[in-house]
Amino acid sequence: MDDQTRIEIEAAAFRRLRKHLIEERPDAQNIDMMNLAGFCRNCLSRWYQEAAADHGITLDKMEAREIYYGMPFSEWKAKYQTEANADQQAAFEQSFKENVTDKS
């Protein structure tokens, strides 16, 4: 497989993952994804922001989230995000430390 085809396939897979998480499973809470898998939609938007920076395009965190979510993040939260319970929050703190803070 040539590099351009690989890049196009990888981009298509990313778009499909985004569609699944944004359109088909908005009920899957970011905190649960983070606690189970070590990443969530916000991580994907951050990786998008980092990839843009690699190409000389500056996006702040909220701009990247709006591109990824297809709407302002505040709107997404109001529509889909539920309150985290104490157990979820405690697990998130550990997962964030292991998967984000210590990886930076």
Q: Using one digit for the tens of pLDDT, what is the confidence trace for 43-93?
A: 999 999 999 999 999 999 999 999 999 999 999 999 999 999 999 999 999
Number of domains in the chain: 1
Query: Quick check: is 100 in a domain?
Result: no
Which structural domain range is residue 58 located in? 3-94
Query: Quick check: is 69 in a domain?
Result: yes
| C-alpha of 14 from chain center | 11
Q: pTM of the full predicted structure?
A: 0.88
Pair 21, 37: CB distance under 8 Å: no
Model confidence pLDDT, tens digit, residues 11-36: 999 999 999 999 999 999 999 999 99
Classify residue 22 by burial, with Cβ atoms within 10 Å: 0-12, 13-18, 19+: middle
pLDDT at 104 over 90: no
CATH number at residue 68: 1.10.3340.10
* Alpha-carbon separation of residue 74 from 10, 13, 65, 85, 100 (angstroms): 29, 26, 10, 20, 22
Per-residue pLDDT band for 101 (boundaries 50, 70, 90) equals: confident
